[in-house]
Amino acid sequence: MQNAVVMTLLSALAGTLLSAHSVSAAARGARAAVFGHVGKATVEIYTLSNAHGIEARIMTYGASIVSLKTPDRDGHLQNIVLGFDTLDPYLAGVPYYGATVGRYANRIAQARFTLDGATFNLVANDGPNSLHGGSRGFDKRVWKADATASRNSLKLSYVSTAGEEGYPGQLTVHVTYRLLEDDSLSIEYEATTTAPTPVNLTNHAYFNLSGDPTRSILEHKLTINADKFTPVDATLIPTGELRAVAGTPFDFRSEAVIGSRIDADDAQLNVGHGYDHNWVLNAAHGNALRFAALLADPVSGRALEVRTTQPGLQFYSGNFMNGKQAGQGSVYGYRTGLCLETQHFPDSPNQPTFPSTVLRPGETYAQKTVLNFRTLKTPPN
């Protein structure tokens, strides 16, 4: 989609906004509480809030977003991400809800890669492939919170030892969440390493803008600023092709209802059991954050605009959510949440034509994603 079309779309949205109800300054701030324990480690949960009542709760286990309350068109606050009230479901293996995933988000083929002439074998946890950092990635680690957390920001840190899940080099990682007065939540990633290593970090929140976790996301409307996507093989590994979205169910350059084409007879949809693919985001001008996606729920009036420095966006439509209890499934029902994971492309360490994800000593990995929360004034007909 051309940049002029993107700006027209965002300008149209901006003209239909409602301001959220304000709250007193005394109700704002980063509040900490104990959320549970992993062995001898204490898991804390922090609450960030702004003047309009938007509230993000973030825990140190997995540097995860546990809940995120935003207003509907009538100013009613509800949680728009799927999560849990206790730590137990996360520890039982419910996959990636709200978590920071790494050392490498998404898949690496055959759980191995070659770097500077050496081959590194990773932990295979998705058939033959490595997914989201392996069997115990960053989502299953207790991060350290900065004790100076302000009322609207929280910095979390983790040191991944050399050899963890098969990756080379000791990686020091920081994730900073900032909830701002313009009703945006920014997620900033930084990392340094002692040896060359691939790095690809993202947040794995499951969104349902209705505020009702029993409702399907198929009626949500989605725009993705991408002319191409990366088709995948039978194990969801990119083939290396950058395929045009035009004329396919993957064309979200103009707003489309998610459920309108999700069951089309399309080879790529059949492989993913729906949408579970990476879109190649169109470039931004200069060093500006690129517009990635716009998600809207016409019923509640909530809208989410995503901007990022990352080159790709993985849109996952909850195809494997099964409603089974913690430890056996996703807990939440089929397609009641969706993910918009800003990222580098899957399997980049094995794809020489993809943008590089290699971080070397002396360099700093730095990526940023901003979630802007909006409210549509006009209800559906």
Domains in the chain: ranges and CATH: 3-375 (2.70.98.10)
- What pLDDT, on the 0 to 100 scale, is given for residue 147? 65
27, pLDDT greater than 50:
no
More confident residue, 266 or 18: 266
Mean pLDDT value of segment 361-370 = 98
Cα–Cα distances in Å, from 191 out to 102, 144, 160?
11, 15, 10
More confident residue, 147 or 211: 211
165, pLDDT greater than 90:
yes
Quick check: 160 and 184 in contact, CB under 8 A? no
- What pLDDT, on the 0 to 100 scale, is given for residue 380? 64
Pair of tokens at residue 228: 């191409």
204 flagged as catalytic: yes
Would you place residue 146 in the very low, low, confident or very high pLDDT band (cuts 50, 70, 90)?
confident
The residue type found at 224 is I
Would you place residue 301 in the very low, low, confident or very high pLDDT band (cuts 50, 70, 90)?
very high
Pair of tokens at residue 252: 């979200």
193 closest CA partner among 175, 168, 176: 168
- C-alpha radius of gyration, the chain, whole number: 20
- What pLDDT, on the 0 to 100 scale, is given for residue 2? 44
pLDDT above 70 as % of the chain: 90
Q: Which helix (H) or strand (E) holds 90?
A: helix 88-91
- What pLDDT, on the 0 to 100 scale, is given for residue 342? 98
25, pLDDT greater than 70:
no
Average pLDDT over the chain, rounded to an integer = 91
Q: Which of 132, 204, 220, 277 is catalytic?
A: 204
- What pLDDT, on the 0 to 100 scale, is given for residue 17? 39
Quick check: 253 and 272 in contact, CB under 8 A? no
pLDDT above 90 as % of the chain: 83
- What pLDDT, on the 0 to 100 scale, is given for residue 330? 80
29 closest CA partner among 15, 44, 47: 47
Using one digit for the tens of pLDDT, what is the confidence trace for 37-82?
Answer: 999 999 999 999 999 999 999 999 999 999 999 999 999 999 999 9
341 flagged as catalytic: yes
Would you place residue 324 in the very low, low, confident or very high pLDDT band (cuts 50, 70, 90)?
confident
Mean pLDDT value of segment 302-308 = 98
| pTM of the predicted protein model | 0.91
Buried b (16+ CB within 10 A) or exposed e, 221-249: bbbbbbbbbbbbeeebbbeeebbebeeeb
326, pLDDT greater than 90:
no
Pair of tokens at residue 136: 């115990």
Q: How far apart are CA 240 and CA 228, in angstroms?
A: 12
Q: Which of 44, 305, 341, 344 is catalytic?
A: 341
Positive or negative torsion for Cα 361, 346, 355, 173: negative
Q: How far apart are CA 299 and CA 294, in angstroms?
A: 16
Mean pLDDT value of segment 107-132 = 97
- What pLDDT, on the 0 to 100 scale, is given for residue 73? 96
More confident residue, 95 or 145: 145
Q: How far apart are CA 120 and CA 331, in angstroms?
A: 34
Centroid of chain to Cα 183: 18
